[in-house]
Amino acid sequence: MSSKMPEIDPEQEKQDILKAYKKLLRSTKRNEAKGDLKLIRKAFDVALDAHKDMRRKSGEPYIYHPIAVAEIVTSEIGLGAKSIVCALLHDTVEDTDLTVEDMSRMFGDKVAQIIDGLTKLSTVLDIQEDKSLQAENFRKMLLTMSSDIRVILIKLADRLHNMRTLGSMRRDKQLKIASETMFIYAPLAHRLGLYAIKTELEDLSFKYIEPDLYDLIVNKLRDSARQRTRFINKFSFPIINSLNDAGIDYEIKGRTKSVYSIARKMKAQGVPFEEVYDIFAIRLILNCEMENEKSNTWKAYSIVTDHYVPNPGRFRDWVSKPKSNGYESLHTTVMSDSGKWVEVQIRTRRMDDVAEKGLAAHWKYKDANKGDGQPTPTENGFESWLNQIRDLLESPDPNAIDFIDDFKLNLFAEEIFVFTPTGEVRTLPANATSLDFAFEIHTEVGMRCIGAKVNGKLNPLSHNLKSGDQVEVLTSNKQKPKEDWLAFVVTAKAKSKIKQALKEENRKIAMDGKEILERKLKQMKITIDNDLTNNLHKHFKVKTSQDLFIQIAKKTIEFRDIKEFIESSRNASKWYNLLKNRITGTESRQNSALTEKPSRPRPKDKGDTVVIGDANQQMDYVMAKCCSPIPGDDVFGFVTIGEGIKIHRTNCPNAIHIRSNYAYRVVPAAWANKEEHTSFGASILITGIDDMGLVNSITTVISKDLNVNMKSISFESNDGVFEGHIKVLVQGIHHLNNLIDNLKKVDGIKKIVREDEKES
Ligand code: MN
């Protein structure tokens, strides 16, 4: 090992580092504001000091790495001062004594926030070293956790430099890092339109994963380079002439496919290197004003196809409709003179820049075109560019099929990534709460959860989590799942577990309630059965018997009310038993509200008829309100649920309905006496010709009858027609008829009828 280490000359090293830094400053190219340059210098000084005792695996001072990352960030991705600062500092919080707070104090909140994001990503990777975090999750996490897209871009630059310097790592490390790069970072660079970086990442990964095939292809490419140049020159010759004639300013070059994509073709088609037909493409780059871009690319296309026959199936127009990641170009494949298909890519200088550097370059052109000729993007404009990328990531263009396959990004906006106290990552849906997290950890943890510390701060169970939160669940053995938990959990797991627990809990309570009911009914000598519970839950308007028992256990239904219901039903049920005996062969559809001990045998003659006013009558009965029968009226009884027997007049307006639908519930009824000492209410309607003295005459007639009690009286007069409603208390039908006869004698009265109320 030590033999590999070069002699270290501290003074020389210092000079070399400064040289690297100066080179970085030169490649920023943009005219950074003075303040920005100062900030970059400060970041360099802080990073240099923080990493001063550290060396990379290669033995060189660590600071070369952040400088190189910063250089990639500015010259290969096209980011500005703030990103350079972050790149220089990107490993300080993770690897040195500096903290995020230090960053915030020295460089402001934005820089601190970006560095924090970068540090967190590294931490996650380290933790997952053994378990190897699922790549799909990692990609999503990368995007979700980075509130600022610069985190991703700097991370890509970091990875690119690590890949460029992978040679000094151990073989197993090389393989792990290379696979990760191939799986995660290259597709990400592709997504962001960073083609140059994507290609380099792929080639570097491939170099470590399959060194033999990599070397073979590199050698073959080198060996065939001269032959290729000759071919390209010959192919280009007629095109060049025509382009010159058309006055188009251009650059023409042959571009070989990347080593990795050649390897992929060889494998996919099972052919040797020599038989991969599109190893290279001709690229025609046009220098022109933005407003002429479209016409010039099409003009060039027309020139190319004037000389060579195009393959219509292999034509792609990304000029009229750019790819979702911003890629613009015309691709056509034409037949060369030597009988080989050749792909020709036609694009402007701007399109080429965008293709190589991604949207950062795209923005640069957009800004320059706006007028003041200054290519420096404003901070404001930069934000809008960042938003553009964010939009791109969040809503992938459905046409970008080449990408969607390996990157299901539409998912990530709906997911968050949260850390356990030991740093494990858990994926949860957006809007997930601490309680969801608790259930995610373990069902028992969820059940006993009383609160959670989020980033060290105590919060209620319903607290909404964000990506990057670290959550510590607090539990208590006394805790039980609550009904209101369902209102704020979002994961299916938490929901179903809570429901299940509540169900179990309710089942226990219901069992208690049932026991209470059984015990109390036993005292009434009643055994509980389905009919009774059904009737009870209907009566108390609860959905199920279980709800009934729960309410009994919780005393929201009191036993007093149950008792009352049962007693009134019991009266009716006596009659049902009688009815059952009476209507032979017809099973009563109406169940008794409760099952009784066999009822005492009753004398048949008496049992058949309700005798109203008979002191020995055992049934409860009431006069129906709809027709208010009075003694002497022709009546029948109707067995009701819970209200005993109702006595209706035979000519009651409801009688037909009752008799036709519930004949089996109708029982005969009779008056014990034609007249009673008690009074019954009756209503009469009087119509006649309005006369000054009419009301007076009517009241005189009524009050003359000593036994009649007038309960209410109301008169209405309309265009000379008089209408009076009178309620009286009478002893029976003869009494009432007497009164009506007397009233009929009054002058002006045309008609008197007994009134019925319409509703029963
Ligand atoms: Mn790094």
**From ligand 1's centre to the CA of 165, what distance in Å?**
11
**From ligand 1's centre to the CA of 61, what distance in Å?**
13
Final residue of a structural domain among 642, 671, 700: 671
In sequence order, the β-bridge partners of residue 714 are 725
**From ligand 1's centre to the CA of 375, what distance in Å?**
29
In this prediction, residue 137 has a pLDDT band, given cuts at 50, 70 and 90, of low
**From ligand 1's centre to the CA of 15, what distance in Å?**
22
**From ligand 1's centre to the CA of 419, what distance in Å?**
22
Beta strand 666-671 with 610-612 is parallel
Tell me which residue range forms the domain holding 611.
Answer: 593-671
In sequence order, what are the residues at sequence separation of 6 or more whose Cβ sits closer than 8 angstroms to the Cβ of residue 374?
Answer: 367, 368
Cα separations in angstroms, 198 against 160, 204, 396, 625: 9, 10, 18, 89
Backbone torsion region of residue 568, taken as left when φ is above 0, otherwise alpha when ψ lies between -120 and 50, otherwise beta: alpha
In a domain, 741, yes or no: yes
The reported pLDDT for the residue numbered 220 is: 93
In a domain, 257, yes or no: yes
Q: Alpha-carbon distance 442 to 445, whole Å?
A: 5
The reported pLDDT for the residue numbered 356 is: 77
The reported pLDDT for the residue numbered 553 is: 87
**From ligand 1's centre to the CA of 123, what distance in Å?**
12
Beta strand 610-612 with 635-639 is unpaired
Higher model confidence: residue 127 or residue 30? 30
In a domain, 438, yes or no: no
In a domain, 321, yes or no: yes
Does 348 have pLDDT greater than 90?
yes
Same-domain pairing of 605 and 522? no
**From ligand 1's centre to the CA of 88, what distance in Å?**
9
The reported pLDDT for the residue numbered 161 is: 95
Same-domain pairing of 651 and 685? no
**From ligand 1's centre to the CA of 46, what distance in Å?**
15
Collapsed DSSP state (helix, strand, coil) of residue 224:
coil
The reported pLDDT for the residue numbered 410 is: 31
Pair of tokens at residue 290: 């933005």
Backbone torsion region of residue 555, taken as left when φ is above 0, otherwise alpha when ψ lies between -120 and 50, otherwise beta: left
Q: Alpha-carbon distance 451 to 379, whole Å?
A: 42
pLDDT digit string (tens) for 16-41? 898 888 888 887 765 566 678 888 99
Q: Alpha-carbon distance 465 to 454, whole Å?
A: 8
Pair of tokens at residue 392: 């791109």
Final residue of a structural domain among 671, 694, 725: 671
Average pLDDT of the residues in 269-291: 88
The DSSP H or E segment spanning 622 is: strand 621-623
User: Could you tell me which of 55, 180, 201, 170 has the C-alpha nearest to residue 125?
Assistant: 180
User: Could you tell me which of 545, 530, 663 has the C-alpha nearest to residue 593?
Assistant: 530
* Residue 606: CB atoms within 10 Å: 13
Active-site choice (94, 675, 691, 723): 94
Q: Which residues make up the environment of ion ligand 1, defined by Cβ < 5 Å? A: 91, 158
Pair of tokens at residue 395: 């809503």
Does 450 have pLDDT greater than 60?
yes
Same-domain pairing of 621 and 554? no
Pair of tokens at residue 28: 């920023």
**From ligand 1's centre to the CA of 98, what distance in Å?**
15
Final residue of a structural domain among 334, 369, 404: 369
DSSP at 663 = G
The reported pLDDT for the residue numbered 367 is: 47
**From ligand 1's centre to the CA of 4, what distance in Å?**
23
Same-domain pairing of 540 and 653? no
pTM of the model: 0.52
CATH code for position 290: 3.30.460.10
The DSSP H or E segment spanning 24 is: helix 10-27
Same-domain pairing of 650 and 733? no
Does 630 have pLDDT greater than 60?
yes
In sequence order, what are the residues at sequence separation of 6 or more whose Cβ sits closer than 8 angstroms to the Cβ of residue 479?
Answer: 447, 448, 449, 450
> What's the start-to-end Cα distance of the chain, in Å?
106
Does 76 have pLDDT greater than 90?
no
Same-domain pairing of 548 and 659? no
Are the beta carbons of 449 and 475 closer than 8 angstroms? yes
Same-domain pairing of 561 and 608? no
Average pLDDT of the residues in 598-618: 58
The reported pLDDT for the residue numbered 123 is: 66
Same-domain pairing of 141 and 155? yes
pLDDT digit string (tens) for 171-213? 888 888 888 788 778 877 877 778 889 999 999 999 998 999 9
**From ligand 1's centre to the CA of 60, what distance in Å?**
14
The reported pLDDT for the residue numbered 382 is: 47
Specify the residue for token string 């219509």.
312
**From ligand 1's centre to the CA of 249, what distance in Å?**
42
In a domain, 448, yes or no: no
**From ligand 1's centre to the CA of 74, what distance in Å?**
16
How many domains is the chain partitioned into structurally? 5
**From ligand 1's centre to the CA of 158, what distance in Å?**
5
pLDDT digit string (tens) for 660-713? 777 777 888 888 876 666 778 888 888 888 777 777 788 888 877 766 777 778
Active-site choice (60, 95, 317, 757): 95
Is residue 94 annotated as a catalytic residue, yes or no?
yes
In sequence order, what are the residues at sequence separation of 6 or more whose Cβ sits closer than 8 angstroms to the Cβ of residue 520?
Answer: 559, 562, 563
User: Could you tell me which of 2, 110, 95, 112 has the C-alpha nearest to residue 49?
Assistant: 95
In a domain, 314, yes or no: yes
The reported pLDDT for the residue numbered 322 is: 75
pLDDT digit string (tens) for 537-553? 778 888 888 888 888 88
The reported pLDDT for the residue numbered 383 is: 52
Query: Picking from 84-93, 319-328, 329-338, 546-555, which range would have the lowest pLDDT averaged per residue?
Result: 319-328
Same-domain pairing of 184 and 283? no
**From ligand 1's centre to the CA of 56, what distance in Å?**
10
In a domain, 482, yes or no: no
Same-domain pairing of 75 and 151? yes
Same-domain pairing of 288 and 201? no
Cα separations in angstroms, 337 against 226, 235, 237, 477, 648: 18, 8, 12, 83, 111
pLDDT digit string (tens) for 378-404? 444 445 555 555 555 544 443 332 332
Average pLDDT of the residues in 466-479: 86
CATH code for position 732: 3.30.70.260
Average pLDDT of the residues in 597-612: 52
Pair of tokens at residue 616: 């020995």
Pair of tokens at residue 626: 């709809």
Q: Is 336 exposed, middle or buried (0-12, 13-18, 19+ CB in 10 A)?
A: middle
**From ligand 1's centre to the CA of 118, what distance in Å?**
9
Query: Picking from 49-53, 287-291, 390-394, 628-632, which range would have the lowest pLDDT averaged per residue?
Result: 390-394
Same-domain pairing of 211 and 242? no
Is residue 515 annotated as a catalytic residue, yes or no?
no
Beta strand 341-348 with 280-287 is parallel
Average pLDDT of the residues in 96-119: 88
Are the beta carbons of 639 and 645 closer than 8 angstroms? yes
In sequence order, the β-bridge partners of residue 725 are 685, 714
In a domain, 685, yes or no: yes
In this prediction, residue 495 has a pLDDT band, given cuts at 50, 70 and 90, of confident
The mean pLDDT value of the chain amounts to 78
